[in-house]
Amino acid sequence: MPALLEVSGLHAFYGETEILHGIDFAVETGGVTALLGANGAGKTTTLRAICGMVSTAGEVIFAGRPIAGWRTEDIARRGIGHVPDGRGTFLELSVEDNLRLGAISRRDRDIGADIERMFGYFPKLRERLRQQAGTLSGGEQQMLAIARALLSRPKLLLLDEPS
């Protein structure tokens, strides 16, 4: 079976500064791939590059399609979920609204069963459904960020510092 994600010769830039200098790796379908490296090595930048959030050169093939240069929202729709470092939850919104936003690009509206499944993984979220996300503890916000990403039903989930 071909890899779900194949990255080859990937470069990434913040302005003029080159951060990734041609990296190669693959994520197998059903597999787990860990990126290890020192602070500042470029792990976060690698995930941002896959999601089209920084300028890049090189090849990113996802589910058989080249996605380098695509807009971030199109990459998300294609099936890549991203839990960024710092979690990226909408702090002013309730837990429930954050979860619903996770499913916003889905065509089906039947997200109730999936939200129930998230409560199975993270029972705390059920208890705090009406609470403003910004008032959750750090770990609770992390649970919310992961649950929100899963609600898009991604084929690939990118987790930046999940624990």
Q: What is the DSSP string of 122-158?
A: -HHHHHTTTSBGGGS-HHHHHHHHHHHHHTT--SEEE
Residue 124 structure tokens = 């705390």
With CB cut-offs between 5 and 8 Å by kind, which of Mg ion, ligand ATP, none does residue 40 bind? ligand ATP
Closest CB to ligand ATP among residues 82, 128: 82
- Which residue from 12, 20, 44, 83 is in contact with Mg ion, where contact means CB under 5 A? 44
Q: Which of 89, 104, 86 is nearest to 135 (CA)?
A: 89
Tell me how far apart the alpha carbons of residues 13 and 17 are, in angstroms, rounded to a whole number. 5
User: Rule CB under 6 A: which of 34-73 touch ligand ATP?
Assistant: 37, 39-45
Tell me how far apart the alpha carbons of residues 59 and 103 are, in angstroms, rounded to a whole number. 28
Q: How many residues bind Mg ion, per CB under 5 A? A: 3
With CB cut-offs between 5 and 8 Å by kind, which of ligand ATP, Mg ion, none does residue 41 bind? ligand ATP
Closest CB to ligand ATP among residues 19, 99: 19
Closest CB to ligand ATP among residues 33, 135: 33
